[in-house]
Amino acid sequence: MLSRKPVGQQASVIKYDVLTAVGTFALSQPKGKQVLCLRLMTLITARYNWARNELAVGQREIARMWNVDERTVKREMAKLRAMSWLIVKRQGARGRVTQYALALEQILKDTQPVWSAVGPDFEQRLIGQGAQPDNTSAKIVPLHNAQRATLAPEVDGSSEWGLARSLIHAEDPARFATWIATLTRQERRGRRLYLTAPSRFHAHYVATHLNALCLSAVRQVDPDIDAVIVTEPT
């Protein structure tokens, strides 16, 4: 989509176009998505390094900036990753903050329906910068890939599993489609989250091969959970 990096003589125009697209998109969305986009825009304007495509800021600083607690920061950043708007460049460890990158192509793809609301000049400028309409890219998708493609789940922040499954899809769509999509949230008991699989074999496979993946995704949303239990249907 965006064929040029937002640096150089045209950098300011490209930067403002991206922010305009995100802001206009936000105003067409429900309140929760509006707030999420506003929070992202604040991070971009305050801390995003356009030249290096890097956002490196700690959760405590983000919490102060957003006027929320760190648990809310964790969930909101997880939502942005689940939407594939943010990509982890380097995971934080040993006092080092996580480094993110903006997925500009995905952001432009998702905001494309509102470009015309800004004006034909804005729409043509983004297309001229390399942001092609969806129907252009759709023509070159092989048929077998289109048949096997799995729609991304709706980003659901109402439960820890709803958001965690979106994170898994963003990182590994194929594995999500095969093993994760059909897992349903059963209940939570203390620090344990119980999921139900559609069959005994399915439950056994996830428990033995993908439990670490599920637990990691859930803990990115809610660090209070220390176990994910997958059961067969009753």
- Tens of pLDDT, residues 122-167: 988 888 665 555 443 433 333 334 334 456 677 777 789 999 999 9
Residue 125 has a pLDDT of: 84
Residue 135 has a pLDDT of: 47
**For 1-9, which contacts have Cβ atoms below 8 Å and span 24 or more sequence positions?**
1/104, 1/105, 1/108, 1/109, 1/130, 1/131, 1/132, 2/104, 2/105, 2/108, 2/129, 2/130, 2/131, 3/129, 3/130, 4/129, 4/130, 5/50, 5/51, 5/53, 6/50, 6/104, 7/50, 7/51
Residue 148 has a pLDDT of: 42
Residue 107 has a pLDDT of: 94
Smallest CA-to-CA distance from 160 within 120, 207, 215, 100 is with 215
CB atoms within 10 A of CB 196: 18
Question: What average pLDDT does the structure give for the chain?
Answer: 85
Residue 22 has a pLDDT of: 97
Q: What is the pLDDT of residues 19-55, one digit of tens each?
A: 999 999 999 999 999 999 999 999 999 999 988 889 9
Indicate if the pLDDT at residue 215 is higher than 70: yes
Q: Give dist(CA 185, CA 172) in Å, integer.
A: 20
CB atoms within 10 A of CB 109: 17
Indicate if the pLDDT at residue 115 is higher than 50: yes
Indicate if the pLDDT at residue 197 is higher than 70: yes
Considering only CA atoms, give the Rg of the chain: 19
Output the pTM of the full model: 0.75
Q: What is the arrangement of strands in the sheet containing 48-49, beginning at the earlier edge strand?
A: 48-49, 54-56, 99-102, 86-90
